[in-house]
Structure 1
Amino acid sequence: MSTQELRADCANCFALCCVALAFARSSDFAVDKQIGEPCRNLTDDFRCGIHAKLRTSGFTGCTVYDCFGAGQKVSQVTFGGVSWREDNARDMFDVFPVMRQLHELLWYLTEASALPAARPLHKDIRRSLASVQDLTHADAAVLRKLDVAEVRQGVNTLLLRTSELVRAEIKPKKKDRRGADLIGANLRKADLSGANLRGAYLIGADLREANLRKADLIGADLRDAALDGADLTGSLFLTQTQVNAAKGTAATRLPEVLARPAHWR
C-alpha cells in the first residue's frame, strides 16, 4: 500500500475534522466545540476561512491534526460522495474516528512491510495489512459496531515484534524507555538510536542534535519537543501528527515519507 493513500486530501473531504470532532477551549483551540457542531471558521465550500492564520488565531491544534487520509475515505468511499449536509450526518460523524484509527494502523503496517529487518514477519504483516484494508471498505453499519481496540491489539503484536527485530541491529542495546516520563528532559545530543520510546512523554524535551535513528516512537508525545538538528531518519512508526506537534528547523532530519511542517523555523 502506498503512503500517499494515507495522506489527507482535504479537497475530497467534507471537512469532517472540522465538524465530527469536539475540542475544548485551551492553548490549542480558541473556543469550545461539540461533536457534530461545525467549526465557526468553516465556509460553505468545506474550506477553512482562516487556514493561513490558524496558529495566530488560536487554533494551533488544527495545524497538528492529521487524519491519515480517513477524511476522504469516509467522504468519497463509505458515503459515496454524499456530504453530511445532505444526509447521514450522525452515521458519518460516528464512522470518521473509527476510520481514522484504521488508517493510522495502515500507516504503521505499510511502514513495517517495507523494513528489511522485519522480513521474517512480512507474510503476517501483509496479511494484517490486507485485513485492515478490507475493514476500511466496510459499510457504515459495520464500522460503527467495529471493536477497534481488538483490531489494534492484533496489529500491535506485530508492530512490537517488528520493532524488536529492527532495534536489535543497534548495539549496544539501549535502555527501555517505554512510557517514560521525559517531560522537559535534557536529551540534547543523546544517542537514542534503537531506543524503545513507545508512549514516552517527551513534551518540551530538549532533543536537539539527538540521534533517534531506529528508535521506536509509536505513541510518543512530542508536543513542543525541540528537534533542531535531531536525526529522525529511519525512526520507527513516526507520524505527521507527532512531527507537527514538535518544534523543528531546517536542520531537523526527517523520514522521507513525512513533510516538514510549514510552521517550523
Structure 2
Amino acid sequence: MTTSPRTQPDDLRADCAACFGLCCVTLPFTRSSDFALTKPAGRPCLNLADDHRCGIHSGLRERGFTGCTVYECLGAGQKLSRHTFGGRDWRAHPELLPVMTAAYPVMRHLHELLWHLHHAAALPPAAPVRDRVTGMIATLDDLTHQDSDTLLAADLPALHAQAAELLRTASRLTRRHANPRARDHARADLTGRDMRNADLRAADLRGALLIGADLTGATLTHADLLGADLRAAVLSGADLSTALFLTQPQLNAARGDAATRLPDDLTRPPHWH
C-alpha cells in the first residue's frame, strides 16, 4: 500500500525571521534538564536579543537549553506576529504582550490540529471522511486569520474534539488497510522498552510513553504516533517513512541516525548522528 506524500502549507512551518520571538517570550520555562533557568510566561528569555533572535542559538544544547531545540511552533509565531497583530512588535507596543501571551498557545494548538488534518486529508484510505476533514481545515484556518478577540473567544475544547474524532477515523481506516492485525499500544507505558527490530506496522501508538525506548531497526510504517512521547527514544535505522501524525518536535526529542527513514515533510534533526 502507498500513502500520498505528506504536504503541508508553508504557513504551518516555523519562520523565526518573521516572528517577534514569541515562543521565547510568551512561554514559561522551569529550571530543569531541559532549561537552564526559570522564566514565567510573558517575560522575555534572557538570551533573546533585540532583533528577536536567540543569542545562543548555535549552542543551546551545550548551554542547558535542550528544551528549545526540540520545540516547533508550526508557524503559530509568525501568524500572530504578522497577521493577528499586524506586525506590531511587543517591544514597541508592550500593552499587547498580555494578549500575545494568551493568544500564542491557542494559535499553536490550532496550527497543530491543522498540521494533522492536512496529513489526514492526504491518506487514500481515509477518503470516506475526506470532505469532513477538509471542512474542518477550512473552519480552523479561517479562525487563525481572525483578530485576537475572536481567537481567544473560540471554544478550543470543542474544536479539538471535532478534529480528534476525524483524526481517529482517518487513522483507523488507514491502519486497517495497511495491517488488519496491527498491535494496539495506545497510551501504553513503554518507557525504556527494548523494541529493537519490532514489527509495528500500522500499530496504534497514540499517546504511548516511549521515553528512552530502543526502537532501533523497528518498522513503524503507517503506525499512528499522534501524541506519543518519543523523548530519548532510539530510532536508529527505524522506518518511519509513512508514520501517521508524526511531528518535528517528536523527532527533535528522539535520537536517530542517517539510516532512520523519515516522512518527506520532516527534517532530520541536526543533533542526530
Partners of 1:3 and 1:232 in 2: how far apart?
Answer: 21
Q: Which amino acid aligns with 2:121?
A: S
Contact 1:196 1:215 in 2 (8 A): yes
Partners of 1:86 and 1:245 in 2: how far apart?
Answer: 34
- Asked if 1:166 is matched to 2:157, the reply is no
Residue of structure 2 equivalent to 1:143: 151
Contact 1:113 1:126 in 2 (8 A): yes
Partners of 1:181 and 1:171 in 2: how far apart?
Answer: 23
Contact 2:76 2:104 in 1 (8 A): yes
Write out aligned runs for 1:36-75 (5 A).
36-75=42-81
CA deviation string 1:133-182 (max 9, x = no partner): 01101110111222211111000000000000000123341221110000
Match of 1:116 among 114, 124, 130: 124
TM-score for the superposition, normalised by structure 2:
0.95
Q: Which runs of 5+ in 2 are unaligned?
A: 1-6
Write out aligned runs for 1:135-214 (5 A).
135-214=143-222
Match of 2:98 among 87, 90, 95: 90
Residue of structure 1 equivalent to 2:16: 10
Contact 1:199 1:217 in 2 (8 A): yes
- Asked if 1:27 is matched to 2:37, the reply is no
Contact 1:187 1:207 in 2 (8 A): yes
Q: Which amino acid aligns with 1:43?
A: A
| 1:3 Cα deviation after fit | 3.4
Contact 1:199 1:218 in 2 (8 A): yes
% identity of equivalent residues: 55
| 1:207 Cα deviation after fit | 0.3
Write out aligned runs for 1:214-229 (5 A).
214-229=222-237
Q: Which runs of 5+ in 1 are unaligned?
A: none
Partners of 2:64 and 2:100 in 1: how far apart?
Answer: 27
3-state DSSP class of the match of 1:55?
A: coil
Aligned length: 265
Partners of 1:2 and 1:225 in 2: how far apart?
Answer: 25
Partners of 2:188 and 2:203 in 1: how far apart?
Answer: 12
Aligned-residue CA RMSD (Å) = 0.9
Contact 1:3 1:257 in 2 (8 A): no
Q: Which amino acid aligns with 1:33?
A: K
Q: Which amino acid aligns with 2:126?
A: A
Runs of 4+ in 1 over 3 A off after TM superposition: none
Q: Which amino acid aligns with 1:34?
A: P
Partners of 2:135 and 2:101 in 1: how far apart?
Answer: 29
Partners of 1:214 and 1:62 in 2: how far apart?
Answer: 29
TM-score for the superposition, normalised by structure 1:
0.98
Contact 2:35 2:66 in 1 (8 A): yes
Residue of structure 2 equivalent to 1:249: 257
Contact 1:217 1:238 in 2 (8 A): yes
Contact 1:95 1:144 in 2 (8 A): yes
Residue of structure 2 equivalent to 1:132: 140
